[in-house]
Amino acid sequence: MSATFTNPVLPGFHPDPSICRVGDDYYLANSTFEWFPGILLSHSRDLVHWTHVGHALTRRSQLDLRAVVDSGGIWAPSLSYADGQFWLVYAVLRTTGMGRPFKDAHVHLVTAPSITGPWSEPVHLNSIGFDPSLFHDEDGRKWLVNMQWDFRKGRNRFAGIVLQELDPQSRTLVGPIHELLRKPILSEGPNLYRHGGYYYLMLAEGGTGWNHGIAMARSRALTGPYECDPEPAMLTTRDDLTHPLQKCGHGELVQTPAGEWWLAHLCSRPLAPERRCLLGRETALQRVVWSDDGWLRLAHGGHSPVLQPPLPAGILPSVPQTDEDGQSRDDFDRATLSASWQTLRVPAEESWLSLTQRPGWLRLVGRECPNSLWEQSLVAKRLQSFQATAETRLDFAPTRFTQMAGLVCWYDTRTHFFLRVTHDEQRGRVVGVSLSDDGNYDELPDGVLPVASWHSVYLRAEIDRSLLVFSASPDGSAWRQVGPALDASKLSDDYGYGLHFTGAMIGLAVYDLNGTRLAADFDYFTLRPTLG
């Protein structure tokens, strides 16, 4: 029996994968939405083991996410390599949301000589839709392809796939806009490939939920007409709601040096019984082949994904699948935060985040509230396991109830759980739990701990699938539960009103609603999977 690997290869919040190969190296980009820095970049030598190597948009001059709505921001980047450099196109969604006919979707281009940069300042290309990709044709010409959005009453909002030439010198779109294909369903995420005398158009269809899938079309000419694949989907689980990988769709192709073709695609893994996907949309891989009649097909047959595909040709099964950077201990003894950390909407700057003011500690300055879309002091990592434990130790001396610091389990500004140290007028310094449940604020009075006599406060969050338990300790050994067990599955795309596209994050937050910028110091942070 051939050796296998297990999907997803990038677990947790890693949606909309875009993949390319340069020599023997593979590179992958994922959407980051309202999180900063923008566009997570990963590297692999074998398609199976991936390491975060940084982000493309790291400067305020490149990206301003202040006031961007939850699940707005960076949508569906597309990464490619040509002419000795990396090309990255993406959309910034500033206006979006359920029930809103309009979208402000601004498509930009950045380039870099290396995956680690330096990445250029963004160049605006268009604002007619989202999910852009860049096609480098064999004749050297470059083309931008994306979906177009139609806000008009009675129209299909997903108003077709369009193509326009990109002048690489001026970095502007030139010539006419060509409509390649229009279908009466949700068609997005377009990518173009040239193979066997055809131009192939790969599409994400059905919306990025339970009906998601990937469909194909092809043409002898770049600008069409395009014929649709006789199979309605080359990848989907819409007809098998028991499959462990759900919502499969939005993918890109890569060819290995051995000649194999692989599809990187998003997927989600729901938890029973609510069918909520705590870890968000993740990145998986499937081997694909070209059929005798020239259509792309899953190598194992059918249109359902495989949870454990065979390893790519030439890959040895000697190294376990790990992400040591994503789930580990951080003692804050480096000059900068690792690539697995993200901040909310704004960059990590010395004005509110410091690793030097108290060496070996992370100092966060309290700013705006947990509902703010502007200036929150929050840093977090992706939850990448259904069973995990996060822990920290902090020094914090609040004098008012408006000052709070602690451990946060976060989905967005409307849904999160906060294990916080704060001040109570009668009991002094206390540890308790506050939360936002789909926009409804609450505090849990049961289990509030007076901790005025504690020298330091240790905080812990334990997640066991849908169960979240908070606890606190004066010494890191004797733990006391704080509040009742909570429903961790609410930290998912599938809970609450509206459309959601990210995933659960766990991290550290400090708030000072006095405006006096009281700081908290964190000694360490751990986020480790727990063996069930």
- Please identify which of the residues 34, 131, 165, 188 carries the catalytic annotation: 188
Cβ count near 95 (within 10 Å): 12
User: Omega of the bond prior to 118 within 30 degrees of 0, cis?
Assistant: yes
Cα(6)–Cα(155) distance, rounded to whole angstroms? 42
Spell out the residues 6+ positions from residue 157 whose beta carbon is closer than 8 angstroms to its own: 101, 149, 150, 151
The answer to whether 362 and 522 have CB atoms below 8 angstroms apart is: yes
Cα(249)–Cα(226) distance, rounded to whole angstroms? 20
Residue type, 75: W
Output the six-digit token pair for 73.
Answer: 């921001």
Of the candidates 95, 41, 90, 101, the one whose C-alpha atom is nearest the C-alpha of residue 71 is: 95
Of the candidates 87, 70, 73, 162, the one whose C-alpha atom is nearest the C-alpha of residue 122 is: 87
Cα(268)–Cα(386) distance, rounded to whole angstroms? 12
Residue type, 450: P
What are the C-alpha distances in Å from 211 to residues 161, 187, 282, 346?
A: 20, 12, 16, 34
Q: Is 16 a catalytic residue?
A: yes
Q: How far is CA 343 from the centre of its chain?
A: 13
- Please identify which of the residues 16, 70, 205, 494 carries the catalytic annotation: 16
Spell out the residues 6+ positions from residue 50 whose beta carbon is closer than 8 angstroms to its own: 9, 10, 28, 42, 43, 44, 323
The answer to whether 249 and 304 have CB atoms below 8 angstroms apart is: no
SS3 content of the chain, % helix, strand, coil (to 5): 0, 50, 50
The answer to whether 310 and 10 have CB atoms below 8 angstroms apart is: no
The answer to whether 75 and 16 have CB atoms below 8 angstroms apart is: yes
The answer to whether 490 and 437 have CB atoms below 8 angstroms apart is: yes
User: Edge-to-edge strand order for the sheet containing 142-149?
Assistant: 133-136, 142-149, 158-167, 172-181
The answer to whether 48 and 315 have CB atoms below 8 angstroms apart is: yes
The answer to whether 197 and 218 have CB atoms below 8 angstroms apart is: no
What is the number of alpha carbons within 13 Å of residue 87 lying toward its C-beta?
Answer: 17
b or e along 429-455 (b: 16 or more beta carbons within 10 Å of the residue's beta carbon)? Answer: bbbbbbbbbeeeeeebeebbbebeebe
According to DSSP, the residues that pair with 10 across neighbouring strands are 283
Cα(9)–Cα(464) distance, rounded to whole angstroms? 21
Q: Is 229 a catalytic residue?
A: no
User: Omega of the bond prior to 230 within 30 degrees of 0, cis?
Assistant: no
The catalytic residue positions are: 16, 188
